[in-house]
Amino acid sequence: MLDQLSDRLGAIFARLTGRGRLSEDDVNNAMREVRIALLEADVSLGAAKGFVARVKEAAIGANILESLTPGQTIVKIVHDELIALLGGGSGRLTFSDAPPSVIMLVGLQGSGKTTQAGKLALRLKEQGRRTLLVAADVYRPAAIAQLQTLGKQIDAPVYEAGQGDAVTIARDGVAEARRLGISTVIVDTAGRLQIDAQLMGELERIKAAISPKEILLVADAMTGQEATNVAKGFHQSLGITGVILTKLDGDTRGGAALSIFEATGAPVKFVGVGEKLSALEVFHPDRLASRILGMGDVLSLIERTQGVYSQEQSKELESKLLKQQFTLDDFLEQLRSVKKMGSMGELLKMVPGLSRALPKNFEIPEKEMNRVEAIICSMTARERSYPDILNGSRRKRIALGSGTAVSDVNQLIKKFADMKQMMKQFGGGKRGRSRIPAGLAR
What CATH superfamily classification does 101-292 receive? P-loop containing nucleotide triphosphate hydrolases (3.40.50.300)
Give exposure, 394-420, as e/b (b: 16+ Cβ within 10 Å). Answer: ebebbbeebebeeebbeebbeebeeeb
Quote the crossing angle between the two packed helices 311-322 and 328-341, to the nearest 10°.
Answer: 140
Give exposure, 299-316, as e/b (b: 16+ Cβ within 10 Å). Answer: ebbeebeeeebeeeeeee
pLDDT in tens, the chain (442 residues): 567 777 788 888 788 776 667 777 888 888 899 899 888 888 888 888 999 998 888 877 666 655 556 777 788 888 888 888 888 876 789 999 888 999 999 998 888 899 999 999 999 999 999 999 999 999 887 899 999 999 999 999 999 998 889 999 999 999 999 999 999 999 999 988 778 888 899 999 999 999 999 999 998 877 777 888 888 889 999 999 999 988 776 545 567 777 888 888 888 899 887 788 888 888 888 878 877 776 654 455 555 555 555 556 556 656 665 566 678 887 787 777 766 666 655 665 555 555 555 555 555 566 788 888 899 999 999 998 888 899 999 999 999 999 999 999 998 888 888 777 766 665 554 444 444 444 444 4
Structural domain boundaries in the chain? 3-85, 101-292, 302-427
- What's the CATH fold of domain 3-85? Four Helix Bundle (Hemerythrin (Met), subunit A) (1.20.120)
User: DSSP secondary-structure letter at 98?
Assistant: S
Residue at 195: amino acid letter: I
- Structurally, at CATH architecture level, domain 302-427 sits in Orthogonal Bundle (1.10)
Tell me the CA distances in angstroms from 192 to 103, 113, 204, 421, one per residue in order.
20, 12, 15, 59
